[in-house]
């Protein structure tokens, strides 16, 4: 148990207030984590919907480009072997980044019996218990009798003043169980609160980390760019598809040329050098503009 618990246990009114405060704090924390859960679910659904659109419009063009690149590389390999030239590097394949998967939320532990379901003792009952524990007739000596008489005077005054806190404090000091005073198991309630707080804080850390990953994911970034372009009246996915179609057309033409070159000729050497430069240069124009589409798919 924490030091706060031990301090609160000295005063039943104090631990009732502290328990109520911590329950309100826990409810606020649970509500905040629920808002983050909803925010993550909404963003995840938006990104997945975008990826569905992306796949519907761009998967086929991408597959055609990659197929033609493979055929062209095989044609270039034949020319390179015949002339002893270096083989152009294959363009990097599309990167497929998986979206982060948020682990399921933990189940909250069952709350202990509600303190409101068990009636706390009345003031009269507290005074009766104090009399049973503190009555001077139960003294073991003169010093003990004097002490008990003073405590009973305090108990009688507290009862007359309707001072529940003083009566409870006198009973706890005399060995009364806090559970009997409060109407619920304080220890179980505190353990439940601490367990729930631990789970809520851990879930909050997981949610924040996964939200950051999802917001920074290439698909999310691309989706945001596409959405901003659409707000300006530009269909970005259609532009990407058009670029891929142009790329495929160029590859088809180059493949036609490469298939008709004589191995070992100056033309085949120039052709090899051309593709050595284009595929070996990450800023080559035939891939420029397609990187965002590649990284998000």
**Whose CA is closest to 218, among 53, 82, 103, 47?**
47
> Residue 20 has what pLDDT?
74
**Tokens 């649970």, located at residue:** 30
- 166 CB contacts (<8 Å, ≥6 apart)? 154, 155, 157, 158
Q: Are 268 and 79 in contact (CB under 8 A)?
A: yes
**Whose CA is closest to 219, among 42, 102, 96, 63?**
96
* Domains of the chain, residue spans: 3-116+186-296, 119-183
Spans of the chain, pLDDT less than 70: 1-17, 113-120, 177-186, 280-297
> Residue 11 has what pLDDT?
57
> Residue 94 has what pLDDT?
76
Angle at 30 between CA 29 and CA 35, to 5 degrees: 95
- How many other C-beta atoms are found inside a 10 Å radius of the C-beta of residue 191? 15
Q: Two tokens at 13? A: 């009114």
CA distance 248 to 63: 10
> Residue 203 has what pLDDT?
96
Q: Are 155 and 167 in contact (CB under 8 A)?
A: yes
> Residue 196 has what pLDDT?
93
> Residue 249 has what pLDDT?
95
> Residue 269 has what pLDDT?
85
């Amino acid at each position: 148990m924490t030091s706060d618990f031990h301090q609160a246990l000295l005063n039943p009114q104090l631990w009732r207030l502290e328990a109520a405060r911590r329950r309100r704090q826990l409810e606020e924390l649970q509500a905040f984590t629920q808002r983050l859960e909803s925010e993550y679910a909404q963003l995840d659904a938006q990104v997945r919907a975008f990826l569905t659109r992306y796949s519907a419009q761009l998967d086929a063009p991408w597959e055609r480009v990659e197929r033609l690149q493979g055929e062209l590389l095989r044609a270039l390999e034949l020319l390179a072997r015949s002339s002893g030239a270096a083989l152009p590097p294959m363009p990097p394949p599309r990167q497929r980044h998986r979206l982060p998967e948020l682990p399921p939320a933990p189940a909250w532990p069952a709350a202990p019996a509600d303190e409101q379901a068990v009636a706390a003792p009345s003031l009269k009952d507290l005074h009766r218990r104090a009399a049973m524990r503190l009555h001077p007739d139960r003294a073991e000596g003169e010093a003990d009798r004097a002490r008990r008489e003073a405590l009973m005077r305090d108990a009688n005054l507290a009862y007359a003043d309707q001072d529940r806190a003083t009566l409870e404090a006198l009973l706890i000091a005399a060995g009364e169980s806090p559970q009997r005073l409060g109407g619920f198991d304080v220890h179980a309630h505190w353990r439940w609160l601490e367990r729930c707080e631990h789970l809520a804080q851990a879930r909050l850390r997981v949610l924040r980390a996964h939200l950051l990953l999802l917001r920074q994911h290439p698909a999310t970034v691309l989706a945001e760019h596409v959405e901003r372009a659409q707000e300006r009246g530009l269909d970005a996915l259609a532009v990407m598809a058009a670029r891929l179609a142009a790329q495929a057309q160029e590859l088809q033409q180059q493949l036609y040329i490469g298939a008709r070159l004589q191995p070992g000729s100056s033309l085949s050497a120039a052709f090899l050098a051309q593709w050595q430069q284009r595929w070996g240069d990450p800023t080559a124009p035939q891939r420029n503009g397609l990187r965002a589409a590649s990284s998000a798919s």
